[in-house]
Chain A
Amino acid sequence: MSNLKLSGISKSFDGIKTIHDVDLDIKDGEFVVFVGPSGCGKSTLLRLIAGLEKVTEGEINIGGRVVNDLEPSKRGISMVFQSYALYPHMTVRQNMSVGLKVAGLKKSEIERKVNEAAKILQLDDLMERKPAQLSGGQRQRVAIGRSIVRNPDVFLFDEPLSNLDAELRVKMRLEITALHEQLKSTMIYVTHDQVEAMTMADKIVVLKEGRVVQVGSPLELYNNPVNQFVGGFIGSPRMNFIAASFHKQEGKNITLKTKTGENVDFALDTDTTLKNDPLSIGIRPEHIALGNKYSVKIRLKIKAIELLGGTSYVHGSQANGEDLIIEIKSENMLERHKEYDFSFCPSRCHVFDHLGNVIKLARN
């Protein structure tokens, strides 16, 4: 196994830069998820690591070797594609063994490795079938099997579950996580689904417009987003943003005023002087409570209620038209088109400046 280091990676297509100076360090055995909205460059970054695209600038280092000029098959990687990319005219066995044949391995060794992988992925009974005779989940397992037999330093997954239905996606998510625990290999997984990122990753890399926005563990990103984008992207339903303006500052203590006229007090983490720019307060749906339990009060008119069983998501809007989502226990029976009081505690909030960057607050 081996660690992977990206130093100053940039990629341009026809003179248009799509990946901007990416620096990243991935340790042995880590499960890293690249996440971001469509077009953020996460798949391009993965393809650069795989060697399917050439880097314009920078250096890719896998296991202490600079691999920029090496062909994909020489980089010590394997890749699972979104569309499975199984060879349709070959059986499962042939699909899994063909790469090893090309590499010139002995027949007995190929057989051993293929059988081993088939056992891990419970493919034994499907070995003589062709991809067209397999279900989506089985095809995905074969694609993973094709990766395993190569015994790569780094496994690359390019949105491997996006073609599966919701139930199978959850199952495969668990299978891949279990596989990571079993193989203890370095895995890089690309997804646009932040739930996948949160549930699978040791480390999440959030990308936006070809730039790494934040790197950290799922909880780190959830609890301490560096900007409004990460705050909004990580977590489901997304974080609520309440527009506010600077009211007063006394040392590290600041007071912001929401558009509905509510004063919210925060304590800054560092000695910063806030300017009179527009700000926004970020609060997660689960941190807003029904009733006047906390210090900051809001009144919402309920627009819609999504009942999920134990919990419900309530969509409502304030008097100034600002929409918020709130997670409540389903036993609280709310009615649509009626107004209710909600409240939240400032200690659960995040404050973002006019550029969307987080203003660090003191946490008790």
Chain B
Amino acid sequence: MQYFKYFLAFMLSMFILIPLMMAVTISLNPSNTDILSNMGSWKSFIPQVFSFDNYRAVWSDPYHPFGLYLFNTFFITSISLTLSLMVNSCAAFSLAWGEGKYRKYILGAIISVLAIPGESLVLPQLLMVSKANLVDTYTVQILPGLANAFFIFLFYQFFSKIPKDLIDAARVDGFSLFQTYLKIALPLSKPVCVTVCILHFLGIWNSYLWPIMVTRGPEVRPLSVAMAAYFGSNQTQWGNVMAFAVCMAIPVIIFFLIIQRQFIASITGSSVKG
């Protein structure tokens, strides 16, 4: 039984690791011919040559400025993350502890948005942002994703469980509702913040549909869209594509390694699955 468990764990790990190994192996091989001829054999998973030519090519490509794309992605992700945390947690706190009479109905409306597929909202959103002259800007990639029904719901779940005595104690101490949110509720909601951070980070870092619709040139484009340019009219340079993919994945891996402990704690603590 024990051996079966190890075997199962090994197989599952391989299932995830093999595509990664393939990406790394191909990215280290400078010859497109070799890459294509190795496809389907074990040679596509274990590096035969160690060349960083593909990486050099990706980083120095004048038509696809990787550095700029990386900056764009970082910029959009970090601003979006910060604002998303503030906006969604603030909304959730006011829904949980604010004085509005119709809070429950508003929460119901927000939760019902979860049932609507994002893709069905893309066209109306595109029309709105193009009317507002926001196309091909950072703003258009940050603004529409800020308020997120799922994140509001996650924060609401947490905030509504804060004991009433704690909120009352803050009132007696002279905190305004906003100060109670900022100084008491938000620091306590660290596990939810981490969950939201990870989910939002992955969402923004990997988003493709929205950025490709609202960006035209490399000035504000993120990495996810830029990679598609490698599958152009000419023969695909698999080495470059994989080097690009590896470079794009590294920040995510580093980010995850840094907060993996909190992430696992938050997943188990806040009963959020994925």
Contact = CB atoms under 8 A, between A and B. Distances in A.
A79 B188 contact: no
A27 to B, nearest CB: 23
Given A89-B187, A89-B188, A83 B165 contact: yes
Interface stretch (A69-77, A166-174, A188-196): A69-77
B163 A72 contact: no
Interface in A75-93: 77-79, 81-89
A81 B174 contact: no
B163 A83 contact: yes
Interface string A48-65: 001110000000000000
B168 interface: yes
A71 B177 CA distance: 12
Contacts of A72: 168, 171-172, 174
A85 B174 contact: no
A73 B173 contact: yes
A50 B173 CA distance: 11
A102 interface: yes
Contacts of B184: 87
B169 interface: yes
A71 B171 contact: yes
A115 B179 CA distance: 25
B166 A85 contact: yes
Most chain A C-beta atoms within 10 Å of own C-beta, residue among B163, B165, B169, B187: B169
B175 interface: yes
Interface in B255-273: none
B168 A81 contact: yes
Contacts of B171: 51-52, 71-73
A89 B166 CA distance: 12
Nearest to B168: A52
Given A89-B187, A89-B188, A81 B175 contact: no
Given A81-B169, A87-B184, A103 B174 contact: yes
A319 B173 CA distance: 60
B174 A79 contact: no
Interface in B149-171: 163, 165-166, 168-171
Contacts of A78: 172
A52 B187 CA distance: 23
Given A85-B165, A87-B170, 7 more contacts: A52-B171, A72-B171, A79-B172, A81-B165, A87-B169, A89-B187, A103-B174
**Across the A-B interface, the 4 shortest Cβ-Cβ residue pairs:** A73-B174, A99-B173, A85-B169, A85-B165
Interface of A: 47, 50-52, 71-73, 77-79, 81-89, 98-99, 102-103, 146
